[in-house]
A and B are shown apart, each in its own frame.
Chain A
């Protein structure tokens, strides 16, 4: 299984950081996610982890988002 999207369904871009308020990806990272290689996705997730730490947020769970 490929690297799952970190989307947690809080899909608003923060005007302060330029990152999504849910998953902390920037708009370019969200746009290219579905054609990104696994290596690129891991890089994005590392950046997300750094940004969440900077913002004082808990790490995102490594599982897929909530399933409807």
Chain B
């Protein structure tokens, strides 16, 4: 794989980490569009990155792939800084308008986000021009039931959000929480995007990549593993969400971890539906699992991000 994929000069990717999703800046003359805005606590850096990338242009529009806190957390700050409009997938319109912290998974996963108001909506099949390219919105339910991916057929570029990463896809929240057919939707989504001609994927997290077919194979393999073993899916979801929380907070009290796992709906439901562990056993498994993965380590009475 080459160092960097070659995108048109009108398309810049700001590769972020796991707490903040990648940002994609698309320029058209003296105006620009940004896709996804990162996490709330990184909004200051997001604004600075966008300011540098704009190079004097006006940020006219911000578009989200889906409604999770690591993709919409900078929306309010960007709108304040640049006066841009905010376009969201139509399926999340009510949740944003009413700032429904359950539907936005903020309360569900104990995450933070600054409230914003959307100015327009997109749905699957809609088209828009950004970065001198025409993008088609494609419904990609699974990780988020209302998520959209954006596809440019001429350059064969797919902006996949968390529906497809180089190695996997985002947590299937609906399946873990028991609120919807996350596995079935994810399978249909992978099958649908697998029919597209794609030379480059810009995922929500991780570097842009060109090995689309291999990524699809890995995603299908992971999906099969989850279909065969719900406990594996639940453990994966708990591990990923606690890692996310640790990246944000940097440290957590070991004493308070069982209570945190018991009170946060995502962990409570994942455990109750798939694992059936006592909360102390769940905490013990989690700590040793995160230590083994090199994600966190114990320091005195705290679990600290490594």
Contacts and interface: CB of A to CB of B under 8 A. Distances in A.
A13 interface: yes
Size range of the chain B interface in the assembly = 35 or more
Nearest to B248: A9
A7 B46 CA distance: 14
A10 B42 CA distance: 8
A35 to B, nearest CB: 5
Contacts of B15: 5, 7, 33-34
Contact of A11 (B7, B16, B244): B16
B240 interface: yes
B201 to A, nearest CB: 13
B42 to A, nearest CB: 4
Size range of the chain A interface in the assembly = 20 to 34
Interface stretch (B47-55, B121-129, B259-267, B271-279): B47-55
Given A2-B207, A27-B52, A65 B17 contact: yes
Q: Secondary structure of the B side of the interface?
A: loop
A68 interface: yes
Nearest to A3: B3
Contacts of A30: 14, 45, 49
Interface string A26-48: 01101101111110010000000
Nearest to B50: A31
Contact of B45 (A5, A20, A67): A20
Contacts of B250: 10
B305 interface: yes
A19 B52 CA distance: 14
B205 interface: yes
Contact of A34 (B1, B19, B45, B207): B207
A66 interface: yes
Contacts of A28: 52
A8 to B, nearest CB: 7
A68 B247 CA distance: 10
Nearest to A67: B18
Contacts of B244: 68
A1 interface: yes
B20 interface: yes
Given A2-B2, A33-B15, 16 more contacts: A2-B4, A5-B17, A5-B207, A9-B18, A9-B247, A11-B41, A12-B44, A12-B45, A20-B45, A27-B45, A31-B53, A33-B14, A34-B208, A36-B3, A41-B3, A68-B247
